[in-house]
Structure 1
Amino acid sequence: MDFSWVFTYWPLIVAGAIQTVLLLVISVGFGFILAIGLALALVCGPFWLRWCAKVYCTSLRGTPLLIQLWLLYYGVGSFLPMIPGLRASVLWPVLREGFFFAAVSFTLNYAAYEAEVLRGALLAVPKGELEAGRAFGMSPATLLRRIWLPRAIRIALPTIGGEVVLQLKATPLAFTVTVMDLYAVAYKVRQDTLLVYEPLIVVTLFYVCLTLIITRAFRRVEMQVPIRR
């Protein structure tokens, strides 16, 4: 085993790790916010909104993430330069990068999965707690903010932790759209040095460590906020 290349490529390794973490944080953060809206639409929205949310979730959960990523990057991305004035705008440096399309694709995909998780959690909240909130005169918005949504998130917390880990494992797909994440760095090292296993071992250790951090963080939150029965 030869790991001497690490001292040469460590700036790229650090930059790739940062790209990976950024993709995870952006997709999970914005995806979770979108998932809340989708879950509420699925549970208590009007028929047309519920139908739209169901089509969205089914479509994105039923197709591979790689296909969604390529449709955005090679499909939508190929039409963006045709929009008048876009190349000269301040948005173009962001929109022309593969990182943007990867972040959007991962966010939309994560939201579809998480919406179904939250939908089940919202339906699992005991009806007595909601009725107690209404008896205290809470408005629907206050009831959602103070009782229904927090209890649903607590119920779904173990599953959410698992989904975050799954999202982390999906980030190497960004390599296929020119994003220089950690896996892309390992691929470059393999091309330059003809080493196969060593770069993959470094990537594996990074993902294992990050998975342990995520798992411990969610377990700590679960212990601090126990489910009340």
Structure 2
Amino acid sequence: MDWSVILEYWPRLLKGVWVTLELVALSCLIGALLALPLALCRLSAHSWLQRPAKAYIFFFRGTPLLVQIFLIYYGASQFEPLRDSPLWALFAQPYFCAVLAFSLNTAAYTGEILRGALQSIPAGEIEACKVLGMPPSLMLRRVLLPRAFGTMLPAYGNEIILMLKGSALASTITLMDLTGVTRTVIARTYTPIELFMAAGAIYLVLTLLVLTGFRVLECHFNRYRQAG
């Protein structure tokens, strides 16, 4: 085995790592912003809010991420009004399509995680907020969301890791993320074992960093449980 190929192409691998981190960070940020209204709609007593949110979550949790990427990247071109609109400049870009697919996918999972965390808050705390005269918006911002955030951190950390590993699918639409760069270099050097091992090691390091970061956040936001 020729391990020198890793050192030779290390700068290219690092560029791929940067693209991977960009994809994951941007998708998780957009997904988190979409997850809050999704979770609130799922908890709503109004069926006209609850049913669309259920359908959205069911679709994106029930279909493979790869299919969703292909539907957006290849399927968008099938709609002539979209091709003739200014939006086509975005949908023609693999990067935009990957971020859109990842964001919509992680929003569905994060919305369900947040819904479960909100439902786990003891009813007594909600009643205490009502007794104090808090309006729903203030109660959500000052009490419910901070409590839910601490509860959902372990599950949300797992979702970030799944997104990190799922980002490898971006290479199927010609994006040069870590996996895409690795496959390109393998096609030139014919050294799949060395390069896939290097890519796997990088993914392991990134996963370890995510786990460590969420462990620190969990200790910070759940200090009251440790004190108890």
TM-score range, shorter chain: over 0.9
Q: What is the DSSP-based 3-state SS (H/G/I as helix, E as strand, rest coil) of the residue aligned with 2:9?
A: helix
Query: Which piece of structure 1 moves more, 130-139 or 102-111?
Result: 130-139
Q: After superposition, where does 1:1-229 map in structure 2 within 5 Å? A: 1-44=1-44, 46-79=46-79, 83-84=83-84, 86=86, 92=89, 94-226=90-222, 228=224
Distance (Å, rounded) in 1 between the aligned partners of 2:221 and 2:142: 14
CA distance in 1, matches of 2:85, 2:113: 41
Do 1:114 and 1:163's aligned partners in 2 also have CA atoms closer than 8 Å? Answer: yes
SS at match of 2:95: helix
What secondary structure, in the 3-state scheme, does the structure 1 residue paired with 2:28 have? helix
Q: Which amino acid aligns with 1:161?
A: G
SS class of match (1:131): helix
Deviations 1:100-158 (A, max 9, x none): 11110011011111111111111100111111111111110000001111111111111
Unpaired segments ≥5 residues, structure 2 = none
**Cα shift at 1:43:** 0.6
Displacement after TM superposition at 1:80 (Å): 6.9
User: Which residue identity is paired with 2:185?
Assistant: V
- Report SS of the residue matched to 2:75: helix
What TM-score results when the alignment is normalised by the length of structure 1? Answer: 0.92
Per-residue CA deviation, residues 68-88 of structure 1 (Å, 9 max, x unaligned), is 1100000014547964363xx
Compared with structure 1, are the counterparts of its residues 75 and 158 closer, same or farther at alpha carbon in structure 2 (3 Å cutoff)?
A: same
Partners of 2:221 and 2:95 lie apart in 1 by 35
Question: 1:227, 1:60 → 2: CA distance?
Answer: 34
Structure 2 distance, partners of 1:192, 1:19, is 21
1:183-225 deviations in Å (ceiling 9; x for gaps) = 1111111110110111101111111001111001011011112
Kept in 1, the 8 Å contact 2:6–2:198? The answer is no
Structure 1 Cα separation of the partners of residues 167 and 173 of structure 2: 11
**Structure 1: unaligned runs, 5 residues or longer:** none
Tell me the SS of whatever aligns to 1:5: helix
Structure 1: how far apart are the matches of 2:151 and 2:62? 25
Give me the whole-angstrom Cα distance separating, in 2, the residues matched to 1:106 and 1:208. Answer: 20
Report if the CA contact (8 A) 2:43-2:115 is conserved. Answer: yes
Rounded to whole Å, the distance in 2 between the matches of 1:14 and 1:45 is 48
Contact preservation (8 Å) 2:168, 2:178: yes
